[in-house]
Amino acid sequence: MKLSAQYNAFKTIAIKEFLRFIRIWLQTVVPPAITVALYFVIFGELIGSQIGDIDGFSYIDFIVPGLILMAVISNSYANCVSSFFSSKFHRSVEEMMISPLPNYIIVAGFVSGGMLRGIVVGVAVTIVSMFFTRLEIHSYGVTITVFILTSILFALAGFINAVYARTFDDISIIPTFILTPLTYLGGIFYSINMLPEFWQQVSLANPILYMINAFRYGLLGVTDIDLATAFIIIILFITGLFIFALQLLNKGVGIKP
């Protein structure tokens, strides 16, 4: 397949994936914005006022980056896992399997859908946050890069989950039991410097901590961890997950008997 044809095929999947979630924006874009607004009201306005400053920022300012990134993480993951699983469920994935599409275009296409939803929801949540706090972006470059890389990473993770999933239960187990706890314990609501030494070390094993802190650096200019380490970890995860996803498709795991 020529490069131009591959580009057309990639664009087709990306547009299809974009239309899929934007067509049902009331289910996909609005709920996370409302959820985050509630976080701002409860944790920012009501409880936050009792907590005081963290790293020189008011509590509501401190939690903004984490809440935005949490929405990006959960939505890019959810989009990819539900889209690819439902295409397996409807068997419409066969439309792609019989075509000359290379597997890396299939992965890239679905991931782009997850990334787009992460971005759309992230922007919606950012707009909501502006009603509660005044955002002054410290570094546009770091903010946008982390924003995009994180959505790619979790879209890839969602894709892999969907490849293995056999039932609708299987696509909610990982978000419920792994992703949500890791996100909440990834320093959205606190700085790891507030934890005892032992738990600080344990927290360092949580990859989401690096993303949230890198994003917080982009927005606020403060971070608990080294920025370079955060980028290396994110890129390593993306590379590893992409290769893994590709191998699963090449072997036909979950899609070819």
Residue numbers at the binding site for other proteins (CB under 8 A): 1-2, 4-6, 8-9, 11-13, 16, 19, 86-87, 90-92, 94-102, 252, 256-257
- Would you tell me how many other CB atoms lie within 10 Å of the CB of residue 35? 16
Q: Rounded CA gap, 155 and 113, in Å?
A: 8
Nearer to other proteins, 84 or 210 (CB): 84
Secondary structure of residue 39 in the 3-state scheme: helix
For the chain, how big is the Rg over CA atoms in Å? 19
84: its two tokens: 């690819």
Nearer to other proteins, 52 or 257 (CB): 257
- State the nearest-atom distance from the C-beta of 97 to other proteins, in Å: 6
Nearer to other proteins, 59 or 84 (CB): 84
**CA 185-70-36 angle, 5° bins:** 110
Q: Rounded CA gap, 50 and 165, in Å?
A: 44
Q: Are 93 and 162 in contact (CB under 8 A)?
A: no
Q: Are 114 and 148 in contact (CB under 8 A)?
A: no
- State the nearest-atom distance from the C-beta of 24 to other proteins, in Å: 9
- State the nearest-atom distance from the C-beta of 81 to other proteins, in Å: 16
H, E, C per residue of 83-135: HHHHHHHCCCHHHHHCCCCCHHHHHHHHHHHHHHHHHHHHHHHHHHHCCCCCC
Nearer to other proteins, 101 or 156 (CB): 101
- State the nearest-atom distance from the C-beta of 3 to other proteins, in Å: 10
- State the nearest-atom distance from the C-beta of 6 to other proteins, in Å: 7
Nearer to other proteins, 105 or 152 (CB): 105
- State the nearest-atom distance from the C-beta of 14 to other proteins, in Å: 10
Name the residue type at position 17: E
Nearer to other proteins, 5 or 243 (CB): 5
Nearer to other proteins, 99 or 229 (CB): 99
- State the nearest-atom distance from the C-beta of 4 to other proteins, in Å: 7
Q: Are 40 and 128 in contact (CB under 8 A)?
A: yes
